[in-house]
Structure 1
Amino acid sequence: MRRRNSLSSRAPRATRTFVSLTGPAGNIGDALIRRETLAWSSGTSDELVAYVGDAPDVWLTQLGLPNDAIVLRSKKSVPRWLWFILTAPRHPVLVFEAGEIPLDRGNGLRELVFLAETIIVRLKRGVVVRPPRGIRAPSQPALSIHRLAARLSQVTLWRDATTLATARTGRLAPDIGFSAGVRPGRAWNERTELLVSLRGTRPLPDAEWVRAVRESAERAGLSIRTVVQVREDEDRARELAELLGGEFEAWGQTDPLEQEERLRQRYDAARLVISDRMHVLVLAALSGAVPIELVPQPTGKITKAFAAIGLDGVSFDATTTAPVRLREVLDATPERAAEVAERVRAAEASLTGIQQQIRAGIRRTRA
């Protein structure tokens, strides 16, 4: 356990909020959605308890954890986390982390723990919040346990319609990443770049894909730049820059917060951003760029999350899309950029309203 400031000299606090904020420091998208989850949690109680798993110190800085938060580190602190919940004063708040939930085989025990946490908080007449999430690889018994815990929570949100149908409870909401702030970016005629950021763990796109991207940039008078939002993708970005004849921008030793701001400035100046990383495209859209997933056999995650905010035509399968169509989808237009901007503004407003509703519900519970 780590306390950012000692609390030993203080009197016991009246209320307590628990928030889970685990994640890899080398993934700016994960840091982004955990930071927004923290924003939903901050100020809801007198005391904040955050579980960050095995994350390094830089992760705490990325998230902006307040100095007076109680921070629990590593899996060895899970019993202490549960003890804090069990001994919390009445009306605690429990906020699960946003993101993707794996419910494949082997996750049943973990889901039982989360169910127990939910039941304890409800018995204490507290509030359980599940921010917008997606379910991956649902299997039994983990799925059934998760469904029960979700039904017992006052706020259960899903970031895509498929997950909502699988969960059979809760409601649809935009991915929490859309609350990271709409940026004005540059005017359309001042945007000079086409950005590419692809996962390093998937096969390279073929020669037809490379040709289509290069020709699209040439037609629009854009320069190509490959960028890195996840550290493990750095080698892939270097490879793509060579293939595309573009400029490679490494992450290197740059501080994660500085890298995040540098990326957002790049998105501010881009007309088109091509990626199979969902939160690359979320940040690109928030900056006014046109987001496109154009890769071999996309998973569907990006399609579903953007469909939830009313934005279709974001994802395409490079292996089945005809060459002529490849060039069409890569021709970004100011009209498409305006549509993207309208949808992300609405998503941001929706998430702001949800957060206000949650805070009002907590106040009513404690009244």
Structure 2
Amino acid sequence: MRRRDSRPSTPPRPSTTFVSLTGPAGNIGDALIRRETLEWAAGTSDELVAYTGDAPDVWLTQLSIPDDAVVLRSKKSVPRWLWLLVTAPRHPVLVFEAGEIPLDRGNGVRELVFLAETLIVRLKGGVVVRPPRGIRAPSQPSLGIHRLATRLSQVTLWRDAATLATARTGRLAPDIGFSAGIRPGLDWNERTDLIVSLRGARPLPDERWIRAVRDSAERAGLGIRTIVQVREDEDRARELAELLGGVFEEWGDTDPLVQEERLRERYDAAQLVISDRMHVLVLAALSGAVALELVPQPTAKIREAFAAIGLDRVSVDASTSDPEHLREALRPTPERAAEVVERVRGAEASLAGIRQMIRAGIRRVRA
């Protein structure tokens, strides 16, 4: 007769998810997409380890990082991050942060670290998730290292077709910001604002631009309001309010989460939002406003990210557009707003499906 082993069985080690959540606390758009990244990571394991770099306390609050998470808060903690990856139990999950990836020559060492992280997780039978991202300034060797790391990842998503073509692997997906929640906003006829939010690092718009925006607001019966979604743009918003004869709303000492909600309420009441900040336009679209990038020689980033959800005519080059083209671009209509809402709903549904697919994949790996 076989003797029963009376030794207690060893309980399985808790599973772990690692998520990168770095970013500047003064940028609500960056906080938004990192928070949505955290939503993808949350609940996929027993333990959560978050790397936030040199972010201040307010960043943790903005992202709603759980109190029981292990938070690594400085670049000096990178060795500990790597050690926790190496010593993690089988089947860990690694979720990279969403956003833009600089791949210029100075980022080769960083990409080697990310490749090492990917290899560690794959060798431990885990899952690597790269949420929708864009590539900026691709160059060798950074691009080659990054391509290898993405091929080794089970989930690699890009927020625009040009980046997908550069990466040569993965699939197209909406920017993760489109999962931040659709808001009903006010009825079209109750919306009273034309909102402007431009980067402070670029030159002021010229007189032709100023006149076109003022005329558009007057024709539509809208008041002009300048707002601040990135702290470094505050002085520019003040200048634009003076030039446009509009109302300036400072960020000042307002708590970032309060400021975010205040901005979203402003978008709820806007017919048209003009910006060269992508996530200003994403939040505006989620509130049912017509989103428009109107600047001289705009970069392709905004145009291509919105094209990925099937929405064109978002980006207009103010330096080459004739007066008639400018008037048409600056004319908000309920039909255009309805098109925006339809595309945003599709993007939200697509992202929800991707999130479910990722969770199902993790369950299969651990089964």
Same structural fold, with TM-score higher than 0.5 when normalized by the shorter chain: yes
- What code does the residue aligned with 1:364 have? R
Distance in 2, Cα, partners of 1:298 & 1:15: 45
Which residue of the partner structure matches residue 8 of structure 1?
none
Q: Which has the higher Rg, Structure 1 or Structure 2?
A: 2
Answering whether residue 180 of structure 2 is matched by residue 192 of structure 1, we say: no
Distance in 2, Cα, partners of 1:188 & 1:345: 18
Q: Could you tell me the TM-score, scaled by structure 1's length?
A: 0.97
Distance in 2, Cα, partners of 1:327 & 1:141: 45
Please state how far the C-alpha of 1:171 moved relative to its aligned partner: 0.1
- What code does the residue aligned with 1:258 have? V
Which residue of the partner structure matches residue 362 of structure 1?
362
Where 1:106 maps in the other structure, the secondary structure is helix
- What code does the residue aligned with 2:216 have? S
String of CA shifts for 1:48-83, please: whole Å, max 9, x gaps.
000000000000000000000000011100000000
Which residue of the partner structure matches residue 16 of structure 2?
16
Distance in 2, Cα, partners of 1:329 & 1:132: 28
Q: Is the 8 A contact 1:197 1:274 kept in 2?
A: yes
Where 1:202 maps in the other structure, the secondary structure is coil
Where 2:52 maps in the other structure, the secondary structure is strand
Answering whether residue 131 of structure 2 is matched by residue 131 of structure 1, we say: yes
Which residue of the partner structure matches residue 240 of structure 2?
240
What is the 5 A alignment of 1:67-82? Answer: 67-82=67-82
Distance in 1, Cα, partners of 2:34 & 2:214: 35
- What code does the residue aligned with 2:183 have? R
Aligned pairs, how many? Answer: 357
The 1:262/1:122 distance shift into structure 2, 3 A limit, reads: same
Please state how far the C-alpha of 1:13 moved relative to its aligned partner: 4.6
- What code does the residue aligned with 1:191 have? R
- What code does the residue aligned with 1:316 have? V
Q: Is the 8 A contact 1:13 1:46 kept in 2?
A: no
Distance in 2, Cα, partners of 1:337 & 1:14: 47
Where 2:101 maps in the other structure, the secondary structure is strand
- What code does the residue aligned with 1:107 have? N
- What code does the residue aligned with 2:180 have? A
Residue identity over aligned pairs, in percent, reads 83
Q: Could you tell me the TM-score, scaled by structure 2's length?
A: 0.97
Which residue of the partner structure matches residue 55 of structure 2?
55
The 1:15/1:312 distance shift into structure 2, 3 A limit, reads: same
Root-mean-square deviation (CA, aligned residues, Å) is 0.8
Which residue of the partner structure matches residue 7 of structure 1?
none
Please state how far the C-alpha of 1:134 moved relative to its aligned partner: 0.1
What is the 5 A alignment of 1:1-367? Answer: 13-367=13-367
String of CA shifts for 1:150-185, please: whole Å, max 9, x gaps.
000000000000000000000000000000000000
Please state how far the C-alpha of 1:12 moved relative to its aligned partner: 8.4
Show structure 1 runs of 4+ deviating over 6 A.
none
Please state how far the C-alpha of 1:339 moved relative to its aligned partner: 0.2
Distance in 1, Cα, partners of 2:41 & 2:345: 22
Unaligned residue ranges in structure 2 (runs of 5+)? 1-10
Q: Is the 8 A contact 1:13 1:47 kept in 2?
A: no
Where 2:149 maps in the other structure, the secondary structure is helix
Distance in 2, Cα, partners of 1:253 & 1:22: 22
Where 2:261 maps in the other structure, the secondary structure is helix
Q: Is the 8 A contact 1:224 1:244 kept in 2?
A: yes
String of CA shifts for 1:260-295, please: whole Å, max 9, x gaps.
000000000000000000000000000000000001
- What code does the residue aligned with 1:239 have? E
- What code does the residue aligned with 2:167 have? A
Distance in 2, Cα, partners of 1:13 & 1:262: 44
The 1:62/1:12 distance shift into structure 2, 3 A limit, reads: farther
- What code does the residue aligned with 2:332 have? A
The 1:29/1:12 distance shift into structure 2, 3 A limit, reads: farther
Distance in 2, Cα, partners of 1:327 & 1:232: 29
Please state how far the C-alpha of 1:323 moved relative to its aligned partner: 1.5
Please state how far the C-alpha of 1:121 moved relative to its aligned partner: 0.2
Please state how far the C-alpha of 1:14 moved relative to its aligned partner: 1.4
Which residue of the partner structure matches residue 5 of structure 1?
none
- What code does the residue aligned with 2:71 have? V
Distance in 1, Cα, partners of 2:65 & 2:75: 19
